[in-house]
Amino acid sequence: MMRKQRKDDGQRRGDTARTAGRQKRKVVILNAAKREGHKILRDFRYEYVKAIVKRLEGFGHEHELSDLRIEPIEDFWELKEKGGVLGKINLRIYFGTVPEDNEVVVAMAYKKEDDGRVPRHIVIAVQNRLEEYRTGKQQ
């Protein structure tokens, strides 16, 4: 006869290493980024991306997000998503962190249509939004 595991022994089915001793980050999505996301995506695609963005609560724990394409851009990060559910849409989500508040702040959603580097106006806009958020001027 098998021993039934107690709920408080920390080894229940579904428990993972990510919950053991690690505090998740709060994911904050700026209103401008929400509006941009809604302009680019509709219905189930928006919900799909919303679920991916929610996963950024594990940002900083590489193994939790190892299946996502996240790259640094100057003093913030770029999440790249295309194909699959998104079809031909080449989406970029730009976000920064506020370590003292344990937050990930999503500053911009952008539909990339040209090859090459991130356009300078996008970099400046993301940096400005993150700075405004950090100084309390934007939500």
Whether 34 maps to a domain, the answer reads: yes
Task: Output the pLDDT for position 9.
Answer: 38
Q: Which CATH number covers residue 55?
A: 3.30.2310.20
Q: How far apart are CA 9 and CA 98, in angstroms?
A: 34
Whether 73 maps to a domain, the answer reads: yes
Q: Which of 99, 98, 93, 95 is nearest to 36 (CA)?
A: 93
Whether 18 maps to a domain, the answer reads: no
Higher pLDDT, 121 or 7: 121
**Range(s) of the domain holding residue 123:** 23-134
| 54 band by pLDDT with thresholds 50, 70 and 90 | very high
How many domains are there within the chain?
1
Q: Is a pLDDT exceeding 50 seen at residue 31? A: yes
Percent of the chain with pLDDT over 70: 82
Whether 16 maps to a domain, the answer reads: no
Q: What is the pTM of this model?
A: 0.81
Task: Output the pLDDT for position 66.
Answer: 87
Whether 8 maps to a domain, the answer reads: no
Task: Output the pLDDT for position 67.
Answer: 86
Side chain identity at 91, as an amino acid letter?
A: L
Task: Output the pLDDT for position 137.
Answer: 65
Whether 3 maps to a domain, the answer reads: no
Whether 58 maps to a domain, the answer reads: yes
pLDDT in tens, 86-105: 999 999 999 999 999 999 99
Whether 11 maps to a domain, the answer reads: no
